[in-house]
Structure 1
Amino acid sequence: RGSLDLNLETLSGNLIAQNHSFHVLEKISFELPRVELCPEVLKRAKSFVLADPIFGKPGPIDVLIGNSLFPQLLTNERHSLGANMPSALGTIFGYVIAGTAPCLSTAPRASNLAISLLSTTDTDLHSSLQRFWVQEELPVYDKKSEGELACDKLFETSHTRDSQGRYVVRLPFVDNLAYAKLGTSRPIAAHRFESVERRIHARNSSPLKALYIDFMDEYEALGHMKKPPHLNLSAPHYFLPHHGVVKEHSSTTKLRVVFDASSKTSSGLSLNDVLLTGPKLQNNICDILLHFRLKNLVFSCDIRQMYRQIKIHPDDQRFQLILWRGQPSLPLSTYQLTTVTYGMNCSPYLAIKTLQQLAQDEGSNFPQAAHILKHHSYVDDLIAGASTEAEALELQQQLIELLRLGGFELRKWVSNCPKLLQQLPASHQEPPVFLQPSSDPMFSILGIHWSPVTDCFKYNLNFTSDAPTKRKVLSLIARIYDPCGFLS
């Protein structure tokens, strides 16, 4: 599927290999070990600091390290666990258990496993083509699964609204006892925070440091995270590791802190493993864009911090704990996130379902806006239009009022109707981009550049001066984002 260069480090931050080449595969192997090991093996291995504390349970393989690095990993320490038992081999990651080991008598017979890898030089083209065919494929609408139906039922029976009209939702666990299967999560969250802290406080990361701290300070100031009044770590809970994602082209948030609900606990399960994802509720992008082309006067806007305007029920906030401090000299503090969170597999469902619920609850007073919210929105982007200026202004006002009742605010307005933009402060309007110095101002509408001056979509293509070949043309076509096929 591709290749990339990565730095390989130990948990303590010691660099093993810099810019080492790795291939990206759909799947490295089956879960290993193929069978669960006898508890006696785990018992005898407890006295060692293990590279993988849950080595005895079958699990996915994330990284396969080749022979070129293997000698650098060994520390020449070897300890036998006993007769007919494997040995503990010392590595710079910790001890690994190697050799023949007794398995549970109830385990199925193991099978031989052979892995082969063929690497070609056209992986980038292959990846581009794969994304191209997926993008061009017409959507297939399947019936909802039992889990998706259960997720819908849980939302419908458990969501509430606070005194300000904001929605309060529950985390959709797979079942009533799913969270009890979570193990210890604080050590890995602490280790990953220390790694992030070292990076943002490094000399060459001063802009990243300021952006990260400002983001977290705002998070706390808005009440989206707070210190737990009564923290009971003996009850089931979960610590979310976090890291920053820089968005160079964003006109508002240059850095977003993303929380990792896929981080495994000591039981081998993550929070995402015990949550229902919910059905896919996003509207079809092609349908939205085609409707956008039918109106004379059109506009686009997005919902400010949509996820963070939806509250999580207080009883579920213990599964959204994080570690944070602004300076390394300060003690490490525990916070709980109080809203729907980036990085959880159920977050897109909870956010879109909440908007649909708002349209249902308040739609009788704002019928046109409710229709847009249900059928012409894509996650936090609203794309709509009207035939006349009066209709456009009425629709704009309905959307603002409807979203306000749910605690949401609209911003990044774009339109080819000047009077519609005159109603808004400059801070609520999206600044344009210019593909070329002398070109019309352009705005992004669901990933496609649109000119409000000419009311046309435009594509910025970078042709090379080399002689065109079929392969080069194919590669260029695969990189063009054109969900409706306007160019073809």
Structure 2
Amino acid sequence: YAVDESFSVAGGNCLPVSGRTSSLIQSLKYPDKAFHIDAHILQEITADLPNQPNDIQDWNHLVKVPLADPEFSLPGPIHVVLGIPVIDRLFRRRMVRGERGTPSAYSTDLGYIVMGPIPAQPANQVLTVYPSKQLEFNIDNFGNIEEIPMRNALTEQEQICETHYKINTLRLDNCQYQVRWPFKPEHLELGSSRESATSSWMSVEKKILRSPEARASYHPQLQEYLDFNQTEEVPPAELNKTPSY
């Protein structure tokens, strides 16, 4: 079942507990031996142990011993850690002692477990060589690499847009912003577009007159634009002003 707590391990580290469980552990060597444990469930107990394979060919005292874990000398995941109260119930009185510097085997209800010193494996030495000139170059240029890059200058079009925004931007009483349309100073003239624009408008009006459904949705939409000041009627003095269409 799930719980909200942490589990303290050696070194003072606290691991989150996913839940608790009650399990029955049975010996593979002695099937008649079984016992219950109440355990915490963790995402990970520790790294694989041992951290490297150990050569046990010369440990003759373990050859005929029924080990609880015959592959104890090979790195592997740790699935269960038993506390002292449980270990105390499992231990028997028999022990197989090896030569000095080798671990001994202790009899338990799970089989023999191996405890004791293990000869240290020779560590591999790695030598790394760096060219001194390259190192000096990297140190000298470290500050240059960390400098903030200079901002590129604005292009002519970007400068026109920024100036237009600064001059023509207003904040209204309702906290909205109003900006004039950014027409280019040297824009192309539309030419004689009034007739074509008027023709298109009249075509739309005729279509609306022939369709009651279109008229019912078109006129309220235009009225909404006027009500919310999203559009306005062109004054008579500006009817022929260019560009307008």
TM-score range, shorter chain: 0.3 to 0.5
Q: TM-score, normalised by structure 1?
A: 0.21
TM-score, scaled relative to structure 2 = 0.40
Higher Rg = 2
